[in-house]
Chains A and B, each alone.
Chain A
Amino acid sequence: MSWESFFQNLSNGISLGGLYALIAIGYSMVYGILRLINFAHGDIFMLGAYIAFYGMLIFSLPWWLSLIVSIILTAFIGILIDKGAYKPLRNAPRISALITAIGVSFFLENLGLVVFGGRPKGFYRPHIFDEIITIKGVRILSLTFYSLVITAIFLVLLFYIVYRTKTGLGMRAVSTDMETARLMGIDVDKIISITFAIGSGLAAVGGVLWAMKYPQINPLMGIFPGLKAFIAAVLGGIGSVGGALLGGFILGIAEIMLVAFMPQLSGYRDAFAFLILILILLVKPTGLLGVEVKEKA
């Protein structure tokens, strides 16, 4: 394999990894606090893409404004899902919460099929993202570059919130020990809502960038990216924001490289991520950067 094609694949891998990372962070934050796999996260990602799609199509907003609208609305939907479906089950057995999460996910998918229709829709790619940059023979779509920049901006924002603000301190406290945090005067419900809002907003960013990358959307588009982002979160160590980031990039690059180096295995691409998951769970269940967390009884 020549250097050009190696870097070509690497750039594709990094851009895919960045999208996985954006989705994985939402999974990881919610799991860190509630010990709940938010199955609906992949469908929030789908909703983010659809909101931006309709924003650009019906209200003819510029792309950046529809991205912002999409972030705000999905953040709101995320809070709504938590209040409506997860909050009543906070003290129920974990299996009930898990089934409810799967139920929410299927509800959103089927509602999407009914409301948006099952036919894939072409997603408009703004002109500045449609150019091709050539650096020493490596051809990169300008979207690849910009999506990394956008991802980086939101990640800096996220790290600032989590590690430099009072809210972030509260989030970390609740994730370490919810009961003690409550006793210390932290409004746990508010923190959980904020967590859902941030996670969902990041998923919306991921959804819009994803939709521009593969310029089409459909109501079931969230399933596989959602599952893989969850795997990325587990790989990096679930509950850790940095881990989700790392896991996302590793998974994205590994997946692209697998196809690049072994094209005969390209059909197994979707299975590959699950294989990584099962291996990591067997060898190091806490993930690369994770700390041992006890499951709630």
Chain B
Amino acid sequence: MLFRLCSLIGACLLVGCGEPACESTPDVCDFAVFQKATPVTAQEAVQAIGRFQDPIVRTAAVNHWLRLNPKSTIEDGNLLCSLLTGTEVGNCQRRVSAAHLRR
């Protein structure tokens, strides 16, 4: 067990394989970076999120930014919401513009 643990740590240090999903789904890997270094302005966020091809990652990134910026303007919020599709758009717009959720 100890041997396996050591080999696992050692191997990961060597090849950086702690995030194996990176190979098959690069957006998943890039999302981890996005989480750690979230863009400050809405415009920067839109640019960064726009690069995600995977709609699930894109939605997660939008939600992540909105969670970190609850006092963003309605315009900025709607800018982020416009990156979404389907019923997610309406739910997002309500979240960023409804007066009772902005207090």
The reply to whether chain A is a binding partner of chain B is no
B residues at A contact (CB < 8 Å): none
- Which A residues are closer than 8 A to B by beta carbons? none
